[in-house]
Structure 1
Amino acid sequence: GWLGGPPLFHQERGHPRLRMRHAPFAVSIVERDEWMLCMRQAINEQVDDAALNAKLQRMFSEMADHMINTDGSRAGVAAPL
């Protein structure tokens, strides 16, 4: 459903609550950028279709931005922004 298909996961298991599940961990811009580096590489290696590649890059980038829960000034402590 996240990419526009039917909301099967949501119907069967409810909202995935990714931000809540990541709350115990400090996620700053640094962690977001490191994770996105890995995702970009994986997508580029596996997805040849330019339009799908661009859509996946954009969707994962938006999700990664949403996971940020600290400004990184207090290492190891997650604080909502």
Structure 2
Amino acid sequence: QVLVDTVFIEPFNPIIGAQYVVLGEAEKYEGTGVMIRARVLNCVDGVNVALLQKAISGQRDFFRERESKQGDVAQPADTT
């Protein structure tokens, strides 16, 4: 179960049944779940979800590749 705390983005009047993308901090929640403290909440109704997923996947691939290249950068040799 994931709960979304909207206190930082009030007033928030959700459209019941709409799809949202939430950006925020995840915290363990008492009991059996996680709470997201929402900082940004965007309604994505009408968005091509398959295309959005493809874009997110491409972004993740980019960041993974960038991280692996940073790890491959040779450290300067100790010249002392």
* Alignment TM class, shorter chain as reference: 0.3 to 0.5
More strand per residue? 2
Q: Which has the higher contact order (CA 8 A, sep 6+)?
A: 1
Q: Tell me the TM-score normalised to structure 2 length.
A: 0.32
TM-score, normalised with respect to structure 1? 0.32
The structure with the largest alpha-carbon Rg is 2
Higher helix share goes to which structure? 1
